[in-house]
Structure 1
Amino acid sequence: MTNQNVAVRGSRFFSASALLIAALVVLSFPLSYFIPLATGSKSFSLLHHLHGLAFFAWVGLYVIQTRLVRSGHIRLHRELGLAGVALAGAIVPLGLWMAVSAAASRQAMGIARPFEFSLYNLIDIMVFSFAFGWAIYEASRRIEWHRRLMFVALLNLFGPAFSRWMLKLPLPFPWVDMSPNLLADAMLIALALHDRRQRGRVHAVTTGAALVLIPFHMVEPLIARSTVWNNLAPSLFGFG
């Protein structure tokens, strides 16, 4: 079987899930960004716009990339991969900048734990960077590893985006804080089912991501509210 046939084989799940996740991402921002921006009811800094542009562009490019593989346009898929690397290179520093800016704003407002949500920002950026970097390394080596690592990178953008809706639900702590990432993790279960149908077994990346991310996302809210983290975070983010 050629590399192109390997890439196309099983690509339906990734193209379909990409469309679903992208739609949910876009639907996560009307109240917090799109409507206030259109009506002028809230002002946004240039950082907000740049961060949002890079974020939406990467998700949109991911959708295009999965569609290209699905239709067999592997060469164009690889050429556009350079744009994905450039966007990822923008997302990481912009994400860190946004995390620092948000923490400073919360601190200025006198919020008791201004660095609580900074943990989520830091972990999401770290996991995205790790998964994306590893995926690039595997792009010409192991296609099945590459596509699943890219999927994991996407999920670490989806969880924070969908939190705009999940945090509005009347859920008690820690469920309200862990629910966005656990919803994203549910897509790993869907990927595991796909692996079983397509391959007869769950892929190592799928298993590893589920075993690491799901348990961590369940305890993450407790760490974020802990005294240890809130004492350590200011120095990590340059406020020490």
Structure 2
Amino acid sequence: MSDPSSMRAAYAGSRSRPSPAIPKHADDVFFTVASLLMLTIVFLGFASSYFLRGVALSHQPSALVHVHGLVFSSWMLLFVIQCALVSAGNLRLHRMLGVAGALIAATMVVLGILTTFATLARGLALPPALGSPASFLVGNVIEMLFFGGFVALAICKRKDRIVHKRAMLIAHAALLPPALFRMAFPVVDDPVLTFPVMVQHPALIGLIPLASILALLIFDLAMYRRVVAVTVVGGALLLAMNPLADIVAKTTLAQRLVAWAQSPR
């Protein structure tokens, strides 16, 4: 007959065993590849108006736009570098660069909102695909707040690699529409690169960021056999961004902000 104390010890030991974790190699490969794909989208989207026109030497409407381009480009490169550092096991340098990343992200939120107001202040006619000036303003502000919120979550959860990585990827998904928009609706008269698929299917502007979240869900199901809450919440909020922007754009506050931005200084 088995000793009850030994049975209790065996039961306790079985409960204390950690559950299988995601294979680290698969995790590293997925996020590194995802970061490279997002960087590629941003490069291709802004190639005609920025990257292939001399970057800092390119003709831009203002110094603010130049700073905006430089900071946002630096962030996308940093994202790829950070994913590569984790994959290589260099967590010390990853954490050091994370401090700079937090400062860059905070600067991006401010620059993104300021650049939106500056665009309206110049009084240029917006492409019809962007909707009304209020829709343009509200959509950009919500996009930047979404980005900033998920980066902040990633920083708070930096010791939880599962949540940290997913929050960062979701934050980056919110940065893709401006690049995708330029693939479908070039903002220069003679674009260096053209993307007929994007022109013929502009719905991809919204679908591709959502597809990145869907890919993350599928990856989690394949590796974890479950979905991670932050991925579900991030995908739902990303899906709700455009309908929310349409609602807010019709408010009196949004109209007043547009009027203020476009008023002569």
Q: TM-score range with shorter-chain normalisation? A: 0.7 to 0.9
Which one of the candidate residues 231, 234, 239 is aligned to 2:255? 231
Which one of the candidate residues 61, 74, 79 is aligned to 1:57? 74
Within the alignment, does 1:163 sit opposite 2:181 as a pair? yes
RMSD across aligned positions (CA): 3.3
Which one of the candidate residues 165, 190, 195 is aligned to 1:147? 165
Contact 2:50 2:58 (8 Å CA) reproduced: no
**Which letter maps to 1:131?**
F
Contact 1:7 1:143 (8 Å CA) reproduced: no
Which position in structure 2 is the counterpart of 1:124?
A: 143
Which position in structure 1 is the counterpart of 2:215?
A: 190
Which position in structure 1 is the counterpart of 2:35?
A: 18
Residue 182 of structure 1, CA deviation: 2.7
**Which is higher, the Rg of structure 1 or of structure 2?**
2
Question: Once the two structures are superposed, what CA deviation does each residue of 1:172-226 show, in whole Å capped at 9, x if it has no partner?
Answer: xxx84x6423321110000001001111111111111112221433x25744764
Contact 1:103 1:115 (8 Å CA) reproduced: no
- Shift in CA distance, 106/224, structure 1 to aligned 2, threshold 3 Å: farther
Which position in structure 2 is the counterpart of 1:208?
A: 233
Residue 7 of structure 1, CA deviation: 9.4
Within the alignment, does 1:69 sit opposite 2:86 as a pair? yes
**Which letter maps to 1:231?**
Q
Relative contact order, higher structure (CA 8 A, sep 6+): 2
Q: Tell me which moved more, 122-131 or 44-53.
A: 44-53
Give every structure 1 segment of 4 or more consecutive aligned residues whose post-TM-superposition deviation is greater than 6 Å. Answer: none
Q: Please, which runs of 5 or more residues in structure 2 have no aligned partner?
A: 1-16, 187-197
Contact 1:182 1:214 (8 Å CA) reproduced: no
Q: Tell me which moved more, 193-202 or 219-228.
A: 219-228
Residue 36 of structure 1, CA deviation: 4.5
Which one of the candidate residues 108, 111, 135 is aligned to 2:154? 135
Residue 164 of structure 1, CA deviation: 0.9
Contact 1:135 1:145 (8 Å CA) reproduced: yes
TM-score, scaled to structure 1:
0.82
Residue 151 of structure 1, CA deviation: 0.7
- Give, in whole Å, the separation in 2 of the partners of 1:104 and 1:15: 39
TM-score, scaled to structure 2:
0.75
Which position in structure 2 is the counterpart of 1:96?
A: 113
For this pair of structures, how many residues does the alignment match? 230
- Shift in CA distance, 180/67, structure 1 to aligned 2, threshold 3 Å: same
- Give, in whole Å, the separation in 1 of the partners of 2:253 and 2:78: 35
Aligned to 1:202, the other structure's residue is in SS state coil
Residue 94 of structure 1, CA deviation: 1.1
Question: Once the two structures are superposed, what CA deviation does each residue of 1:77-109 show, in whole Å capped at 9, x if it has no partner?
Answer: 111101101211221111111011011123689
Which position in structure 1 is the counterpart of 2:194?
A: none
Which one of the candidate residues 54, 66, 80 is aligned to 2:97? 80
Residue 37 of structure 1, CA deviation: 4.6
Question: Once the two structures are superposed, what CA deviation does each residue of 1:132-172 show, in whole Å capped at 9, x if it has no partner?
Answer: 111100002x221111111111111122222211335556x
Residue 42 of structure 1, CA deviation: 4.1
Which position in structure 1 is the counterpart of 2:11?
A: none
| Identity value in percent | 30
